[in-house]
Amino acid sequence: MEGPNYENYSRIELESVLRNVDSKRYPERAARVRELLNKPGHKPEIRKEQGFWRALLSKELESVVDAKKILKVTFCVCSIQLIFIVLLRLFFPEIYEKNIAVSSFFEVVAFSFAIITLVLGWFVQKQHLWAAYFLIIFILSPNLLFALLDRSLPDFSFLDISLVILLFASIKSIKFMRAESTEL
């Protein structure tokens, strides 16, 4: 039984075949795939962009461009809190005074939380994996702590949930980009 023709496979597909092929059962297929991967003139690498949503929801990323898009969107979402507070303070001072500046303590806490989120989001964009993990803890822990103290269910906002999903995608992106840089 002859295996598939690997000549038309892209580099990504060949690497996937090499990971998934049973080399004990089909040693000739594994050898052929390794030979094609080591061949310098093998088909030029054509990587199509997955698109943001497909990259966000996929198990594996296919290009560095998609990984960078995810990191940029994560940074933008991290900056939303600070932008919202500043715009509220500038253009709607009565709403700001009523909701955020109840006391100077709450005002300082709101600005501190927004600035820390923004700075950690910037570190995530610069591919620091520790910042992504720390930001997930930083976002989830206050809600979980208040829920534990009140003996109620945690109250997560849409921003919290979307940011956590983006941070998990950012972790995947950072790991993918590190793996790509070590291959070169």
In a domain, 179, yes or no: yes
The count of domains in the chain is 2
Whether residues 11 and 56 fall in one domain: no
Q: Cα separation of 16 and 54, whole Å?
A: 19
With a CB cutoff of 8 Å and minimum separation 6, the contacts of 6 are 14, 17, 29, 32, 33, 36
Residue 44 lies in a domain: no
* Domain coverage including residue 69: 52-183
60 shares its domain with 29: no
Q: Could you report the per-residue pLDDT of 76-106, keeping only the tens digit for each?
A: 999 998 999 999 889 998 988 888 877 888 8
Asked whether 43 and 8 are in contact (CB, 8 A), the reply is yes
Residues 18 and 77 reside in one and the same domain: no
Verify that 65 and 26 share a domain, yes or no.
Answer: no
> Based on the domain organization, do 26 and 56 belong to the same domain?
no
pLDDT in tens, 129-138: 999 999 999 9
Q: Are residues 111 and 34 in the same domain?
A: no
CA distance 129 to 12: 24
- Flag whether 31 is in a domain: yes
Residues 56 and 130 in one domain: yes
Task: Give just the sign of the alpha carbon dihedral 66, 56, 118, 134.
Answer: negative
| 45 — pLDDT class (breaks 50, 70, 90) | low
Whether 130 is covered by a domain: the verdict is yes
DSSP, collapsed to helix, strand or coil, labels residue 124 as helix
Task: Tell me the pTM.
Answer: 0.67
Q: Which two tokens stand for residue 55?
A: 């990259």
